[in-house]
Amino acid sequence: MHADIEGFHVPEAEVIEQACDVLRILSDPTRMRLLYALAQGESNVACLAEIVGANPTAVSQHLSKLRLSGIVKARRQGTFMYYTVVDPTVHDVLHTLLGQLGPQTGEAATEHAKAIAAVPS
């Protein structure tokens, strides 16, 4: 039945598993906020902790998970570690998810649209 549909395709099981792994990493609210901030540019732990409202130790642990998953990378400059998003498709995922779930009316919608538009895609 589906074989008759032109262009019909189901990804390989391994690809689906990898996608699920990434979604599990993204499912934590703090990590989502960190990635949203990092999608706008490189930052260090202290700055990110202030942005997301978490202590630096917790932010470091979240960044470690993101780094081990290959979503962010770190570089050392003196005593500071600076983090950036590795894969630009993360920007697209954040843009799509947050754009669909954000406020839909009034001034809040305008501000939300501006914030979403600022995320590089």
3-state secondary structure of 66: helix
27-84: per-residue pLDDT in tens?
999 999 999 899 889 999 999 999 999 999 999 999 999 999 999 999 999 999 999 9
The residue range of the domain holding 109 is 11-118
Q: What is the number of structural domains in the chain? A: 1
Closest by CA to 85, choosing from 105, 64, 70, is 70
Question: Is 74 part of a structural domain of the chain?
Answer: yes
Question: Is 88 part of a structural domain of the chain?
Answer: yes
Q: Is there a contact between 91 and 38 (Cβ–Cβ < 8 Å)?
A: no
Question: Is 107 part of a structural domain of the chain?
Answer: yes
DSSP 8-state code for residue 39: T
Which structure tokens are listed for 104? 């839909």
Question: Is 25 part of a structural domain of the chain?
Answer: yes
Question: Is 4 part of a structural domain of the chain?
Answer: no
pTM of the predicted protein model:
0.72
pLDDT higher at 119 or 59: 59
CATH number at residue 54: 1.10.10.10
Question: Is 35 part of a structural domain of the chain?
Answer: yes
Q: How far apart are the first and last CA of the chain?
A: 37
